[in-house]
Amino acid sequence: MTNIFDTHAHYSSRQFDADRDELLGKALPEGGVVGVLECATHSGDAPRVLELAHTYPYIHAALGIHPESLGEEDAPTVAVYGGDWRAELKAMRPLFEDKAVAAVGEIGLDHHWPLPAREQYDLFEAQLQLAAELDLPVSIHDREAHGEMYELLRRYKPKGVLHCYSGSAEDAVWLTAQGLCLGFGGAVTYKGAKRAARVLAAIPHDCAVLETDCPYMAPEPVRGRRNDSRNILHVAGYIAGLWEMDAQAVLDTCAANARRVFGVE
């Protein structure tokens, strides 16, 4: 099977340092991967994300400041900018002129970790405003923050992907009607992932995209191992059962959705 488009990856992670070139230059294309949205999490990995997008034609860049960067002592947001995300975002602003940039991301809200609530809200809002200014889609992180997240999504109505969607089927209906796609990865294959099945049954097929969040979130039957884009085959196989079509049709549909939402070939 071919036509795998991974809409959320972190190949700049140190977990790929040992074999990144072999994986991206040979193994992924040979494994049917035709597109990857490589997401930055702060100003430190943004240049590496751009370098990967310039090196491998099927990789597209997303640049942004992840909410967790506000609480990581070794992230530039804290280590270089002392928590002044406004200064960091201003310093990153010229990078968005690069033609390899297809989205603003990974951005969002996270109430799972003890992060400063007001700061991450303001950071997310500023990056939604930036996406609107640049007319770019977004790649959004929403962890245990649905209330504030949905408030901002209703206000700004961004285009893009709500990555690793964890909300209800009812919310999925209005989110997709508003123009967002929802990202589905390895978690949908885990035991007890009944909510994802209800969501996938409730939304139009042209509003779903596939992802890994690699190196994390490997699907069954490779759960617990380092994840990469080839494992989307397992996710497509699961969704094929729900949608009553073959896995290749799921891959084709979701790849077309990804190209449309991120405006890439």
At residue 217, the pLDDT reads 97
The structural domains of the chain, with segments of one domain joined by +, span 4-262
CB 179, CB 161: distance < 8 Å: no
**Which band of pLDDT confidence, cut at 50, 70 and 90, is reported for residue 1?**
low
CB 202, CB 173: distance < 8 Å: yes
Q: For residues 47 and 194, give the distance between their C-alpha atoms in angstroms, rounded to a whole number.
A: 38
Q: For residues 245 and 239, give the distance between their C-alpha atoms in angstroms, rounded to a whole number.
A: 9
Beta-ladder partners of 63: 104
pLDDT above 70 coverage of the chain, percent: 100
Report which of 6, 17, 143, 3 is spatially closest to residue 62, judged by C-alpha positions: 6
**Which band of pLDDT confidence, cut at 50, 70 and 90, is reported for residue 192?**
confident
**CATH number, domain 4-262:** 3.20.20.140
CB 7, CB 209: distance < 8 Å: yes
C-alpha triplet 153, 34, 203: angle, nearest 5°: 35
Task: Specify the DSSP class assigned to residue 156.
Answer: H
Q: 39-95: per-residue pLDDT in tens?
A: 999 999 999 999 999 999 999 999 999 999 999 999 999 999 999 999 999 999 999
Give SS3 for 101.
strand
Average pLDDT, integer, range 104-111: 98
pLDDT above 90 coverage of the chain, percent: 98
175: its two tokens: 């989110």
Report which of 260, 89, 251, 63 is spatially closest to residue 181, judged by C-alpha positions: 260
Average pLDDT, integer, range 224-251: 97
At residue 193, the pLDDT reads 87
Residues 6+ away with beta carbon under 8 Å from 10:
38, 39, 41, 213, 214, 215, 216
Average pLDDT, integer, range 97-124: 97
Work out the mean pLDDT of the chain and round it to a whole number. Answer: 97
- Percent of residues in the chain assigned helix, strand, coil, to nearest 5: 50, 15, 35
At residue 161, the pLDDT reads 98
Beta-ladder partners of 110: 143
User: Beta strands of 144-215 (E only): which ranges?
Assistant: 160-162, 180-184, 208-210
Give SS3 for 246.
coil
Q: 195-224: per-residue pLDDT in tens?
A: 999 999 999 999 999 999 999 999 999 999
At residue 265, the pLDDT reads 84
